[in-house]
Amino acid sequence: MPAFSFNDTLVLAATMFSVGLAGVLVRRNMVFMLMSLDIMLNAAALVFVAAGARWHDATGQVMFVLILALAAVETAVGLAIILRLHAHGRPTLDADAGNLLEG
Amino acid sequence: MATFLIPLLVLCPLAASLIIFISTGRMGARGVGTVACAGVGMAAVLSIIVSVILLSGPATGEVQVTLWPWMHVAGFSADIAFMLDRISLVMILVVTIVGLLIHVYAAGYMQDDPGIARFFGCMTLFVAAMLVLVLASDLLCLFIGWEGVGLCSYLLIGFWYDDPANTAAARKAFYMTRVGDVALLCGLLLLATTTGSLRTGAVLAAVTNGQVSASGVSMAAFFILAGALAKSAQVPFQAWLPDAMAGPTPTSALIHAATMVTAGVYLIARLHDLFAMAAPVMALTAVLGTLTLLVGGCAALVQSDLKRILAWSTISQVGYMFLALGCGVWQAALFHLMTHAFFKALLFLAAGAVIMRARHEQDIFRLGGLRHAMPGLTVAFVAGASALAGLPLVTAGFYSKEMILSGVWHVRFGLTRDWSVTGHPLWAMALLGAFLTALYIFRCVFIVFFGKPGTVAAGRTSRLMTIPLGCLCILSLFGGVIEMPDTLPSLHLFSALLDPATPLSHADEPVWLVLAGAIVPLAGLALAWMLWGRPSSVMHGARTGGGLDARHDRLAIWQHIPDRASTAAGGLMRAASVRVFTIRAGFLDMLARWGGSIGDRGALLLDRLHNGRMRWYAAWIAGGLCVALAVAVLS
């Protein structure tokens, strides 16, 4: 017996996705952008899980595990890029400051 | 027997070409010449054998050989197929025999050139491509040969590629013929869409049965005519041929006089049934041919380069052939094609030998008085010149030109159902062209071989080069007696050979028609002698006193007439071309400016989009997704 109905879950997922998208678009701090991306990914994962529960299918949970791994990798790569930028003498975390590809 | 020999006929020069190309640099000049001559010589022998086989058969017999199917799709099929009938028989005999003589000559002419292997490779490849062109029974297969000869022409014009002028000439020839090739392809595709096959027989049958609409036939004929005009260097495509003289002289003789430039004539003669259905295109062909023969004659009259005179004369003579084609007397066109191949090859080869011995001097005003230094070449050149001018009775050119002139006299162009135009004005202009021909070629003869000695001749002409010259001399003097006007001993071997079923009628031909054709070249010769031949003529320096003043003045006036005429014609053409150039340049400028500004704005827009800000990109992705979703949901 699910605690939430399917509809409620979808609304929640859409809200989470919108919050994440807004974060990516609005925040300039790269760490916060990464966090917002994770929120978006989790929103998508939530839809999978809810759909799995709705149709009694385990595939949704498999997809959730995949997305979790993807999110971990994405965060790791993103943080590594930020660290490399720091190592190259770019002290700021501002994403817009890196638009000229000057190395 | 013949079905086996015909592919072999094409294979011989092709094999020679492959051997020469593969062994480039490993074979001596002698070896290369021998292989090339052997390849073309075998083709010549084979063509004589197949002609004997064909002529011993029934009168309308033809040999069809299908080698392999090329493509078969729904509604269209094409084969690699050869066909030997009377028209292609004449062509293969001309191509292989004249080609053999020129190859033998070239073996002597080119023996000291380091690029001789490349030269002979291209020449034999050209012969193979030309044989494909004339033997193909499928028009698409013909197109292979058509492109092949164009390629070899390009390669050989730019043979001495060290000089940028030569490569520029080669590119010019290639581009200009390419325009025609595209037109030809358009014509062929137009026919293919309606008939489903490009087999010559099938196409002609479909056209004569009325399967193709009248406008379709006219369009196809027009496009094919454009292709033929470009290949044959006729007005408006005439400009590439004089520049093509940058190639070695044997090339000019074989490709740009005897064979390739007449490919257009052959194509139209091959499709004469198609053209007969398109009366306006026929009239256009005749008018353009007349225009070309006059333009070529006028231009040849004022050239000073020996080879360029011959090039313009080729343009003018091919103009005669187009005139004949336009008047429907394609037999006469083919006859003139044959005699022209003989005498123009002779003229080019003799000119090449003269130029070679005069230390590569091509300016006729610096040559001069060569009659004493090289009597044999003088005889050869004068024989070729007489045949070109069509001096009556003793030369081949007279008979073929006479056949064209009488055909033009009798023609009526039925432009619409009840409105037809007589061909008499065209006849008069062709007669004027014959006068110009005699005038310009004997101007050349008198300046180069008579008159004051110019450059000192060196060396002697090798045996390899004199033998072909002798053979061509005989051919261009006596090759024409196989077809005579009715007023002379009536002899129609050539037209009987081409079309035994319906011989060309020579009835009600007035005697004065032949007389006019005979007298006009003599008049041209006489005028040329007065202007350039006489030791006292104005062209050899002015002199005063001694009662010569009056004659001098008279001569000066006479001499000014062609000059003024050609100056006026030149001025008109120049004004027209300047106008065309300005319009074209203005149009292109406008296009380029528009293109530039549109590109500029586009670049600016793209620049705005690609600002390198990740958040913008994310926003674009999200926005695009929303739009796509909206479209998917709302539609």
Per-residue model confidence as pLDDT tens digits over B89-113:
999 999 999 999 999 999 999 988 8
Helix-, strand-, coil-residue percentages of chain A, each rounded to 5: 80, 0, 20
pLDDT for the residue numbered A98:
67
Whether A24 sits inside 8 A of B618 (CB atoms) is yes
The single-letter DSSP state of residue B451 is S
Residue B225 lies in a domain: no
Same domain, B397 and B360: yes
Instruction: Decide if B11 contacts B96 (C-beta within 8 A).
Output: no
**How many structural domains compose chain B?**
2
Residue B128 lies in a domain: no
Instruction: Decide if B167 contacts B173 (C-beta within 8 A).
Output: no
Whether B615 sits inside 8 A of A101 (CB atoms) is no
Same domain, B327 and B442: yes
Q: Determine contact: B613 vs chain A, CB below 8 A.
A: yes
User: What is the residue extent of each domain of chain A?
Assistant: 6-92
Whether A96 sits inside 8 A of B622 (CB atoms) is no
A-B contacts (CB, under 8 Å): 26
Residue B443 lies in a domain: yes
Q: How confident is the model at residue B336 (pLDDT cuts 50, 70, 90)?
A: very high
Whether B612 sits inside 8 A of A98 (CB atoms) is yes
pLDDT one-digit tens code per residue, B346-402: 999 999 999 888 888 888 888 878 888 888 899 999 999 999 999 888 888 998 998
Whether B611 sits inside 8 A of A99 (CB atoms) is yes
| Domain A6-92, CATH | 1.10.287.3510
- C-alpha span between B507 and B43 (Å, rounded): 39
Whether B612 sits inside 8 A of A99 (CB atoms) is yes
Looking only at Cα atoms, what is the longest distance across chain A? 56
Same domain, B316 and B461: yes
DSSP symbols for B208-247? HHT-S-HHHHHHHHHHHHHHHHHHTT-TTSTTHHHHGGGS
pLDDT one-digit tens code per residue, B391-422: 888 888 998 998 898 888 888 887 776 777 88
pLDDT for the residue numbered A2:
56
Question: What mean pLDDT, rounded, does chain B reach?
Answer: 87
Scored b (16 or more CB within 10 A) or e, B93-122 reads bbbbbbbbbbbbbbbbbbbeeeebbbbbbb
CB contacts under 8 A, A 20-39 vs B, are 21, 24-26, 28, 33
> Containing H/E element for B119?
helix B116-135
Same domain, B476 and B567: no
- C-alpha span between B286 and B425 (Å, rounded): 11
Same domain, B558 and B534: no
Instruction: Report the DSSP beta bridge partners of residue B367.
Output: none
Same domain, B498 and B578: no
Q: How confident is the model at residue B505 (pLDDT cuts 50, 70, 90)?
A: low
pLDDT for the residue numbered B544:
36
CB B419: neighbour CB atoms within 10 A? Answer: 8
Q: B72 φ, ψ to 5°?
A: -135, 110
Q: What is the mean pLDDT of residues B424-447?
A: 92
Whether A101 sits inside 8 A of B612 (CB atoms) is yes
- C-alpha span between B302 and B280 (Å, rounded): 34
pLDDT for the residue numbered B543:
35
Q: How confident is the model at residue B70 (pLDDT cuts 50, 70, 90)?
A: confident
Most confident of B354-363, B457-466, B555-564: B354-363
Please report residues of A whose CB lies closer than 8 A to that of B615: 24-26, 28, 33, 95-96
Whether B622 sits inside 8 A of A28 (CB atoms) is no
Same domain, B561 and B530: no
pLDDT for the residue numbered A103:
44
Please report residues of B whose CB lies closer than 8 A to that of A101: 612
- C-alpha span between B372 and B70 (Å, rounded): 59
- C-alpha span between B196 and B174 (Å, rounded): 30
| Shortest distance, CA A70 to any CA of chain B (angstroms) | 19
Same domain, B387 and B455: yes
- C-alpha span between B45 and B37 (Å, rounded): 12
- The half-sphere exposure of B323 on its side-chain side, counting CA atoms within 13 A, is 35
pLDDT for the residue numbered B497:
76
pLDDT for the residue numbered B384:
93
Same domain, B370 and B334: yes
Instruction: Please say if the pLDDT value at position A40 is more than 60.
Output: yes
Which residue range forms the structural domain that includes residue B436? Answer: 306-540
Please report residues of B whose CB lies closer than 8 A to that of A95: 613-615
Please report residues of A whose CB lies closer than 8 A to that of B609: none
Same domain, B368 and B496: yes
Collapse the DSSP code of B328 into the 3-class scheme (helix H, G, I; strand E, B; otherwise coil) and give the result: coil
| Shortest distance, CA B596 to any CA of chain A (angstroms) | 27
Instruction: Report the DSSP beta bridge partners of residue B419.
Output: B416
What is the 3 state secondary structure string of A23-59?
Answer: HHHHCCEHHHHHHHHHHHHHHHHHHHHHHHHHHCCCH
| Shortest distance, CA A3 to any CA of chain B (angstroms) | 30
Q: List, in sequence order, every beta strand (DSSP E) within B346-458.
A: 412-416, 419-422
Q: Determine contact: B615 vs chain A, CB below 8 A.
A: yes
Same domain, B528 and B553: no
Q: What is the mean pLDDT of residues B276-284?
A: 90
Interface test with B, best of A81, A82, A96, A100 (most B CBs within 10 A): A96
Interface test with A, best of B607, B613, B621, B629 (most A CBs within 10 A): B613
Same domain, B363 and B391: yes
* Sign of the dihedral defined by the CA atoms of residues B235, B239, B240, B244, in that order: positive
**Spatial CB neighbours of B225, under 8 Å, sequence gap ≥ 6:** B268, B275, B281, B284, B285
- C-alpha span between B123 and B116 (Å, rounded): 10
* Global confidence as pTM: 0.72
Nearest residue of A to residue B610, measured between CA atoms = A99
Task: Give the CA distances from residue B338 to residues B399, B538, B543, in Å, rounded to whole numbers and listed in that order.
Answer: 11, 38, 45
Residue among B314, B310, B219, B231 at smallest CA distance from B265: B231
Residue B183 lies in a domain: no
